[in-house]
Amino acid sequence: MSPTPMNPAWKNTPSGKLRARGLGLPFEGICGPHNAITDVAGVSVGYATLIAGDGALVQGKGPVRTGVTAILPRPVETIHEPLFAGFFSLNGNGELSGTHYIEETGKFGLPITITNTHSCGIARDATIRWAVDALAERYHDDFALPVAAETYDGFLNDINGFHVEARHVIEAIDAAHGGPIEEGSIGGGTGMKCFGFKAGSGTASRRIGFGGEEFTTGVFVQANFGTRRHLTVLGKTIGADPDLPQMQSGAPDKELSSIIVIIATDAPFLPHQLKRLARRATFGIGRTGGMANHGSGDLFLAFSSANSDFDSGAVRTVRFVPDEDMDPFFEAVVQATEEAILNAMIANEAMTGRDGNFAPALPHDAVRRALGLAE
How many Å apart are CA 200 and CA 221, to the nearest integer? 8
Can you give the three-state secondary structure of 301-367, one letter per residue? EEEECCCCCCCCCCCCCCCCCCHHHCHHHHHHHHHHHHHHHHHHHHCCCCEECHHHCEECCCCHHHH
182, 231, 233 from 4: Cα distances, Å: 21, 30, 24
Catalytic residue list contains 312: no
Burial class (CB in 10 A: 0-12, 13-18, 19+), 104: exposed
How many Å apart are CA 17 and CA 366, to the nearest integer? 17
Catalytic residue list contains 258: yes
- H helix and E strand count, the chain: 8, 16
Selecting among 258, 266, 304, 305, the annotated active-site residue is: 258
- Locate all alpha helices (DSSP H) within the chain, ordered by sequence: 8-11, 99-105, 120-134, 166-174, 271-279, 281-288, 327-346, 364-371
Selecting among 44, 201, 257, 296, the annotated active-site residue is: 296
Selecting among 119, 201, 298, 304, the annotated active-site residue is: 298
Q: Which residues form the catalytic set?
A: 258, 296, 298
